[in-house]
Amino acid sequence: MEEERSQGKWEGKLSAELKGPTAKQVWPLLEDFCNLHKWLPTIDTCYQVDDHQGPTTGPRPGLIRYCAATTTSPSGESVVSWAKEKLIEIDPAQRSLSYEILDNNVGFKKWVATFQVVPIGGEGGACEIRWSFVGDPAEGWSYESLVSYYELALQSLAKKMEQALVASPV
């Protein structure tokens, strides 16, 4: 994990290795921008809120998704954390996509993140998912708690994708 906190910005790069699936197999799962809830156990729902996706062309820049997670507060109340995120760049050849958080109730102001799937040792049977971010400090988070949350989320995402692909290769 590389990290940097320069000029008041939070930046970080995390990665998770998938031992069986190839980058070519993993990319379609990550490219499916509005189905993050299938891979992140902490996300209850994720869906498209605009029309920036053609029936056969897949997601394209400008597409906006809504993601939400429900947790229980110490007092027993259900709390919904949500974010609207806009796809700002997608490059299937490089197997990468970038998005920005437009609105949320979890403390993010200006925030951009990038996912990339890269082969390890050529196009053989292993790959790595890289998740990088840059933005203004998030209210209600320490840098360390945010990185810890992202690390756990990325490892969970990779494990779930790996299990799905090993069980049913794409």
- Model confidence over 52-98: pLDDT tens digits? 655 556 788 999 999 999 988 889 999 999 999 999 999 999 999 99
- Does domain 12-167 match CATH 3.40.50.300? no
Q: Is the pLDDT of residue 33 over 90?
A: yes
Confidence band for 30, pLDDT divided at 50, 70 and 90:
very high
Q: Is the pLDDT of residue 36 over 60?
A: yes
pLDDT for the residue 2 = 47
pLDDT in tens, 133-164: 999 999 999 999 999 999 999 999 999 999 99
pLDDT in tens, 93-141: 999 999 999 999 999 999 999 999 999 976 667 999 999 999 999 999 9
- List of long-range contacts for 2-10, beta carbons under 8 Å, 24+ apart: 3/143, 3/147, 5/143, 8/136, 8/137, 9/134, 9/135, 9/136, 10/133, 10/134, 10/135, 10/136, 10/137, 10/138, 10/143, 10/146
Confidence band for 1, pLDDT divided at 50, 70 and 90:
very low
pTM beyond cutoff 0.85: yes
